[in-house]
Amino acid sequence: MIGGGPGGLYAAALLKRLDPAREVTVHERNAPDDTFGFGVVLSDETLGGIEHADPEVYRALAGEFVRWDAIDVVHRGRTLTSQGHGFAALGRRRLLAVLQARCAELGVRLRFRTDVPSAAELAATHDLVIAADGAGSRTREAHAAILGPTLTRHRCRYIWLAADFAFDAFRFEIAETEHGVMQLHGYPFSPDASTVIVEMREEVWYAAGFDEMATEESVARCAKVFSDALHGRPLTAGPSSAWTAFRTVVNERWSHGNLVLLGDAAHTAHFSIGSGTKLAVEDALALAACIREQPTLPEALAAYEAERRPVVASTQRAAAASLRWFEELAGYVDQPPRQFAFNLLTRSRRVTHGNLRLRDEQFTTAVERDFGCPPGTPPMFTPFRLRELTLRNRVVVSPMDMYSATDGLPGDFHLVHLGARALGGAGLVMTEMVCVSPEGRITPGCAGLWNPAQTAGWQRITDFVHRQSPGTAIGVQLGHSGRKGSTRLMWEGIDQPLPYGNWPLVAASPLPYLPGTSQVPSALHRAALTDLREQFAAAARRAARAGFDLLELHAAHGYLLSGFLSPLTNRRTDAYGGDLTGRLRFPLEVFDAVRQVWPAERPMTVRISATDWAPGGTTAEDAVEIARAFTAHGADAIDVSTGQVVPDERPEFGRSYQTPYADRIRNTLGVPVIAVGAISSWDDVNSLLLAGRVDLCALARPHLYDPHWTLHAAAEQGYQGGAAPWPVPYRAGSRTPPTGRTDAPRPRLTLGPPSTV
């Protein structure tokens, strides 16, 4: 074992306990009580695993824990408390001492303060080498070519400190200083001591002069900034206390031959979700179990990685969301206090509105009341106004290409598809991207709005929605495929060129979407730009005549307007290229032309790709400026999507993975936003709304799975108000159908000898 932290020691103890004949040695270059932190937080789930695997260790730890269930959020002098969370913590040195004692009792060799042989040397003489040597793992670095590590440095600086008293709760306190926002994370780990982590954006750290201070001066300065939280008491630094920037560690492989990574050497997750020691201990449990269960070491290491990688990936996604939230903290401090506290509590997406209601109904009800929810009304069923259009709820059926039109004409399929989703209760139903010209289609099956027959076809659909589902709004998304056009239907080969019948493509620059496969588009010249702008305006006039309530301009996903916005697809040297101002010029000209002919009382939105998920592409900062520009020109809301601009993108998929970009635009600019991207539950919708991260939530796949998703969400929450009315013919189905009993009656009597009574 290389590394004597909690994960390494626990793995050593488990492996020795499972087979006392094994020779297990722990190599640790530091002293037994050296540690980078002060307290460790473990979940009930992790403790349960420890109790099951090694009751001796659990009993030794159980008496040491400090337990509490409250979180205090201090915002501009006001403390908001949420109960019911359940934490257990103890001193890190005490944890190490318990594990070291258990190792010694079992016969594990513990070697401290010695030079650790390299993993390669140890691998030559041992059956198994476990590298648990932390986030700065030398082992991982030495085998980087095989293990494939990626280390991502983040934007805040932080320092681990301690206070000589116990906080009453997990405490988050925000300090708005002359240099910027600073935050304190604090929690008790013994009856008379607490861990205190002070964190801030790096530019704030520099502005405050921490880069020029000795550790003692830094500690004293932190104590002064947070003197109210500390009751005027000092902070203490440990031997390893130093300002650092967090690094997320990800490895393509966790093992090589008889070498395997464990804990922070394999993966890290930001301390704001308290996961490092938890993950390492759980790794140790899984590794020991797999070695016991599998017939060979290669199978055991493969099983260990297969079991742990999905769990770790989920935790890292949650940690990344939490980390980014604190990086963007300055954008939230102007929120109302309860909304700010709710936002903080739900930042990782692991705690949701529904989960928090179970933990602390009183707190959650107060947040709902501040949001404007009438009694008994979930947040998603509150109205939202854009210009003269009031949406009865916050659910949007996201635009989804159906590839089912003939010559651009919407037919019976579109009537049934969109009509069913309008009857399903959503506040706004959006069409797929409707193309402004035949050459602007993605595929031959794409719908259009370039002739009177198409206008009449769409009017048939809007009339149905307005007549049969009064109160439901229907919007049209206008766009042009650009370099991504003239391809096969999605299910025949996504992004693959047509085998015949191709039409010429145009784009900002002559760059094919799939090099060597896709058609090379022609770069648009000035006259063609004017023609295209007029095609958009003409389509907007037809959309108004067709009766649409809202118009969205599609400037995302690598289509024509998106191709102008991204530096990866716009290589022009004229006024329509270069810096972001130049790249915005044509999309804004199109927006202005459409806004001029679109009825003034009807709202207009813009969908953007807030990041290209590729080096050198659109950044989150660019997205804010793009949204600022469209809003200044009259956009009523920004529909914030991401990616699909270049084929070699690397999205960070996960639940609600695109919402941080919408959140940032909303809380930087104060403009309404529509969030999209793996929002799959009504609990997610309620959580995002209450936290003030979004105004509307657009869902695609859930509405393919269930056209009545919104009505079912209302029924599942016990809501029967006017924001989700069941169509009269469907009212008999507004309650969950009964099912047969699956539970057996429990025994009531046990017959024995006759009673003497």
Catalytic residues: 559
Assess contact for 551 and 598: CB atoms under 8 A. Answer: yes
Which residue is listed with tokens 């070697």? Answer: 111
Q: Which amino acid is at 272?
A: S
Could you give the CA distance from residue 33 to residue 47 in angstroms, rounded to a whole number? 22
Cα separations in angstroms, 529 against 192, 484, 498, 525, 585: 71, 17, 25, 6, 11
Q: Which of helix, strand or coil describes residue 328?
A: coil
Helices (H) and strands (E) counted in the chain, each on its own, are 25, 28
Task: Supply 337's token pair.
Answer: 């206090």
Query: Cα dihedral sign for 212, 215, 216, 220?
Result: positive
Q: CA dist 274 to 349, 524, 616, 725, 743, Å?
A: 15, 53, 33, 43, 39
Q: How many residues would you count in the chain?
A: 757
Report the SS3 class of residue 606.
Answer: strand
Per DSSP bridges, beta strands 78-82 and 71-75 are: antiparallel
Rounded Cα gap, residues 643 and 650, in angstroms: 9
Nearest alpha-carbon partner for 61 in 30, 17, 103, 92: 92
Alpha-carbon gap, residue 300 to 296, rounded angstroms: 6
DSSP, collapsed to helix, strand or coil, labels residue 714 as helix
Q: How far is CA 727 from CA 158, 425, 465, 722, in A?
A: 55, 9, 12, 11
The residues near 3 (Cβ < 8 Å, ≥ 6 apart) are 26, 27, 28, 131, 132, 133, 134, 137, 263, 265
CA distance 258 to 239: 34
Taking the C-alpha atoms of residue 695 and residue 697, their distance in angstroms, rounded to an integer, is: 7
Strand partners, 430: 475
Q: What is the 3-state secondary structure (H, E, C) of 486-504?
A: CECCHHHHCCCECCCCCCC
What lies within 8 Å, CB to CB, of 732 at 6+ separation is none
Angle in degrees, CA 61, 66, 67, rounded to 5: 110
Give how far the C-alpha of residue 128 lies from the chain's centroid of Cα atoms, to the nearest Å.
37
Are 256 and 143 spatial neighbours (Cβ–Cβ below 8 Å)? yes
Matching residue, tokens 């679109």: 598
The token pair that represents 227 in the structure block: 């003197």
Q: Is 214 helix (H, G, I), strand (E, B) or coil?
A: coil
Helix segments in 428-559, DSSP class H: 452-468, 490-493, 526-545
Q: Which tokens hold the place of 736?
A: 């969950």
- The amino acid sitting at 448 is G
Q: Please tell me what DSSP assigns to residue 302.
A: H
List the beta bridge partners of residue 448.
435
